[in-house]
């Protein structure tokens, strides 16, 4: 059962969206943000084949296929209409398009929203996702520390979002599927992907109980709706139907941008502190000493890249302990013990 606890609102002004939703890190569904965009007319499989069917996308097996087979699938280019034809013949295919840089032909049909111009417009990027019913994206968070506007072109998708503040709850659950568990045990404990594989839960009731425990924001997004996903939020995606989505990944403030440069694949500690830095004004107001120290870390000269990373890491550990009431070392040690438990 979908919790359906994400508010749906008419898209406010860019300034209000930034003030009330983006900076505070609050998920919300915008019902009419792109109503004037030409892509709004592409709200069905038939319309997609007719209007944008010749757009080429990058298709590959679900990126978790390697957990089941030990092999990564090959990527290939395929027209959108050809993919839809493949799905009609193979409704259970694991092939999908994930995080593919949005082709110009699609971007032209979905102009940037005004809110994308408010903060670092030179840092905005766009990506496209396409998959069939039954496919999914494992519970994870995105490394780039950007707030995401995800526009649902056609089809329906379920999104389960979990705040980084609840991230430590995610390591409390073992993986239920034995094959997945053995493969996950080989992944370094610092890996950005989580250790909760929702698709392996024994039934929907167990999955729902976990989402409630983790305080998840859970919804089904339909054609024409836009989900605002705050930076660094954990998210799990189920394709209820064959679906196409186009995202605008918004520009970052200087703090998150610098942190991402030093930690392109962030640790859990960098994730939690980065989430706090995404509302830079609030962080400076509530943690002035830490903010001043971070400025020194950012502007100091270093002998090499390793020295710069070490300085950032010392700051992150200190900021995490000060704001979360737990040492970074204890959290990472517990995560490593959990990985060993998975290994049996």
For 8-249, the fitting CATH number among 2.40.50.180, 3.40.50.970, 3.40.50.2000, 2.60.120.650 is 2.60.120.650
- How far apart CA 96 and CA 243 sit, in angstroms, is 10
Number of Cβ within 10 Å of residue 130's Cβ equals 29
Report if pTM > 0.75.
yes
Strands 95-101 and 56-61: antiparallel
- Give me the tens of pLDDT residue by residue for the chain, a chain 344 residues long: 899 999 999 999 999 999 999 999 999 999 999 999 999 999 999 999 999 999 999 999 987 776 666 666 789 999 999 999 999 999 999 999 999 999 999 999 999 999 999 999 999 999 999 999 999 998 889 989 999 999 999 999 999 999 998 887 886 555 667 777 676 666 655 445 566 778 778 888 988 998 999 999 999 999 999 999 999 999 999 999 999 999 999 999 999 999 999 988 777 888 889 999 999 999 999 999 999 999 999 999 999 999 999 999 999 999 999 998 888 888 777 777 766 776 66
Residue 320 tokens, joined: 């995490």
Number of Cβ within 10 Å of residue 184's Cβ equals 21
End-to-end CA, the chain:
32
Residue pair 247/137 in contact (Cβ under 8 Å)? The answer is no
Residue pair 254/151 in contact (Cβ under 8 Å)? The answer is no
Domain regions of the chain by residue span = 8-249, 254-343
Residue pair 249/148 in contact (Cβ under 8 Å)? The answer is yes
**For the chain, counts of helices (H) and of strands (E):** 13, 13
> How many residues does the structure list for the chain?
344
Distance of CA 296 to the CA centre of its chain: 30
What is the 3-state composition of the chain as percent helix, strand, coil, each rounded to the nearest 5?
45, 20, 35
């Amino acid at each position: 059962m979908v919790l359906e606890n994400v508010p749906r609102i008419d898209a406010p002004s860019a300034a209000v969206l930034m003030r009330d939703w983006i900076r505070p890190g609050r998920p919300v569904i915008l019902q009419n943000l792109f109503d004037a965009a030409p892509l709004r007319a592409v709200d069905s499989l038939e319309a997609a084949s007719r209007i944008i069917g010749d757009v080429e996308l990058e298709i590959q097996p679900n990126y978790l296929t390697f957990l089941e087979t030990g092999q990564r699938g090959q990527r290939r280019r395929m027209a959108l209409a050809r993919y839809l034809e493949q799905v009609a013949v193979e409704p259970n295919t694991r092939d999908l398009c994930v995080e593919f840089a949005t082709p110009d032909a699609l971007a032209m049909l979905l102009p940037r929203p005004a809110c994308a111009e408010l903060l670092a417009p030179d840092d905005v990027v766009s990506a496209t996702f396409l998959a069939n019913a039954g496919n999914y994206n494992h519970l994870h968070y995105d490394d780039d520390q950007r707030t995401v506007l995800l526009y649902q072109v056609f089809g329906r998708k379920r999104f389960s979002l979990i705040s980084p503040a609840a991230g430590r709850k995610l390591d409390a659950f073992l993986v239920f599927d034995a094959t997945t568990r053995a493969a996950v045990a080989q992944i370094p404990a610092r890996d950005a992907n989580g250790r909760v594989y929702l698709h392996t839960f024994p039934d929907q009731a167990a999955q729902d109980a976990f989402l409630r425990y983790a305080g998840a924001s859970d919804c089904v997004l339909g054609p024409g709706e836009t989900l605002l996903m705050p930076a660094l939020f954990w998210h799990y995606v189920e394709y209820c139907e064959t679906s196409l989505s186009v995202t605008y990944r918004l520009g970052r403030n200087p703090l998150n941008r610098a942190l991402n440069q030093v930690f392109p694949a962030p640790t859990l500690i960098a994730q939690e502190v980065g989430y706090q830095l995404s509302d830079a004004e609030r962080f400076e107001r509530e943690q002035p000493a830490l903010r001043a120290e971070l400025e020194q870390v950012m502007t100091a000269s270093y002998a090499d890249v390793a020295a710069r990373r070490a300085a950032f890491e010392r700051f992150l550990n200190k900021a995490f302990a000060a704001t979360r009431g737990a040492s970074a070392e204890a959290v990472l040690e517990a995560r490593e013990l959990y990985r060993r438990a998975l290994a049996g």
